[in-house]
Amino acid sequence: MKKQAIIDLLNQDLTGEIEAILIYMRDSFVTPQCRPSREMEEIAKDEMRHAEKLSELIVDLGGVPSMEHRELNFGKGGPKGYLRRLIELEKGAIAMYKDHIAIIPDDKIKKLLTHILHEEEGHLEEFTEQLREFNQ
Ligand SMILES: [Fe+2]
Ligand SMILES: [Fe+2]
């Protein structure tokens, strides 16, 4: 696999992280002060650390972090709708990291992506738990 192909995959991961940061921050601001709102804010900070690590890897490979995002979908209908959207984003991130871990032939990168993947799995659990509490 060429370096540029790896850089492109990492930039795809970075796009997902940038979107997560923006969506989680926004949703935390429009959700009234409560545990889900604080979780959104805290997890946005994790996503920023992921974006930082991915950017470092991209630069180490001679690339430029794209810092792009697609059209942002914040979810609809208040906190429950936002949590549903966040769960969807975490599931998408988990699928993408698994895919990229399987195809990138570099142990250092695989290790870092695996670490991020485990954190995304934790986020998915956390958001799922918050939604379950809302539904009780
Ligand atoms: Fe992330
Ligand atoms: Fe996440």
> With 90 as the cut, is the pLDDT of residue 134 above it?
no
Q: Which ligand is nearest to the CA of 49?
A: 1
* pLDDT for res 27: 98
Mean pLDDT of 15-36: 96
CB 21 within 8 A of CB 51: yes
Q: Which ligand is nearest to the CA of 40?
A: 2
List residues, by chain if needed, whose CB lies under 5 Å from ion ligand 2. 120, 123
Q: Which ligand is nearest to the CA of 123?
A: 2
* pLDDT for res 2: 95
Q: Which ligand is nearest to the CA of 124?
A: 2
CATH of residue 130: 1.20.1260.10
Q: Ligand 1 center to residue 132 CA distance, Å?
A: 22
At residue 135 the predicted structure's pLDDT band, cuts being 50, 70 and 90, is: confident
Average pLDDT, the chain: 97
Q: What is the pLDDT of residues 69-114, one digit of tens each?
A: 999 999 999 999 999 999 999 999 999 999 999 999 999 999 999 9
For residue 50 the two structure tokens come to 């992921």
Short-list 72, 68, 64, 50, CA closest to 116: 50
Give the C-alpha distances (Å, rounded to integers) separating 93 from 32, 40, 61, 123: 26, 16, 22, 11
Q: Ligand 1 center to residue 46 CA distance, Å?
A: 6
* pLDDT for res 123: 98
Whole-model pTM?
0.96
Counting the structural domains of the chain, the total is: 1
Domain coverage including residue 59: 3-135
* pLDDT for res 56: 98
At residue 53 the predicted structure's pLDDT band, cuts being 50, 70 and 90, is: very high
